[in-house]
Amino acid sequence: MIPPGRNLIHPHFIIITLIIAGITALFLGFTGAYIYSRVQQGIAPVQIPSLFYFNTLLIVASSITLIYAKKCYENDDSLMFKVSLWCTLLLTIAFLIMQIKAWDQLTAANAGLTSSTLASYMYLISGLHFLHLVAGIPFLGYFLYNMHIRMKDPVTVLVYFIDPERKRSLRILNIYWHFLDALWIYLILFFLVNYMI
């Protein structure tokens, strides 16, 4: 029997921790393979497309707007909660579009998908990050859809903001989003350091 007053970790937090651990291991494996291929084969590293840096600003901005959305939720500010979630979604979509254009930049610089092993790794690693960000969009869309359906009048707005399950889901979404943000910054620094040394 669980002692009264003891705080337990919700299963959703355990799941997101395991997901993040798995993604981290995946990217560490691929970046390790990148270094191994570079050292073993003596291949010149690939220069980062300039749009990768611009995309960093977009993904950091999407994290900031999601943090603001969480604060608005905690302060029962329904209007700014909606605005900040929509901003997060639009910034994320902009990131995805610009990422496709960044791959076009790579191709234009004679660093196509099959031009070298390290170029292939750059596409693979950035592509995996792209897919993990795409996987988060339905959860963001879930909040936007629920807002539209449930927040009709002051009473339903109040019910929406006091729902502990929704608050927990928003915290988990924040954790996942900020993790992807930090992961992208790690990848940019990784490719940059590899190019410079």
Task: Residue 144: give its domain's CATH number.
Answer: 1.20.120.80
Asked if the structure places residue 2 within a domain, the reply is: no
Q: How much is the average pLDDT of 8-31? A: 94
> Is residue 6 pLDDT above 60, yes or no?
no
Asked if the structure places residue 5 within a domain, the reply is: no
Q: How much is the average pLDDT of 174-189? A: 96
> Is residue 97 pLDDT above 90, yes or no?
yes
Position with higher pLDDT, 144 vs 91 = 91
Asked if the structure places residue 32 within a domain, the reply is: yes
Asked if the structure places residue 57 within a domain, the reply is: yes
Rounded to a whole number of angstroms, the CA Rg of the chain reads 20
CB contact burial 49-77 (16+ within 10 A = b; e otherwise):
bebbeebbebbbbbbbbbebbbebbeeeb
Torsion of CA 191, 17, 23, 147, to 10 degrees: -90
Lowest mean pLDDT among 83-92, 124-133, 153-162: 153-162
Task: State how far the Cα of 159 lies from the Cα of 151, in Å rounded to an integer.
Answer: 9
> Is residue 66 pLDDT above 50, yes or no?
yes
Task: State how far the Cα of 51 lies from the Cα of 103, in Å rounded to an integer.
Answer: 9
> Is residue 184 pLDDT above 80, yes or no?
yes
Q: How much is the average pLDDT of 119-139? A: 94
pLDDT of residue 7: 61
pLDDT of residue 177: 96
Top-confidence range, 96-100, 144-148, 155-159: 96-100
> Is residue 4 pLDDT above 80, yes or no?
no
Q: How much is the average pLDDT of 50-73? A: 95
Total domains in the fold of the chain:
1
Cβ partners under 8 Å of residue 147, min gap 6: 78, 81, 82, 85, 160
The CA-based diameter of the chain, rounded to the nearest angstrom, is 65
For residue 90, give its domain range: 11-196
Asked if the structure places residue 1 within a domain, the reply is: no
The letter for the amino acid at 164 is: P
Task: Report whether 146 contacts 166 (CB < 8 A).
Answer: yes
Asked if the structure places residue 6 within a domain, the reply is: no
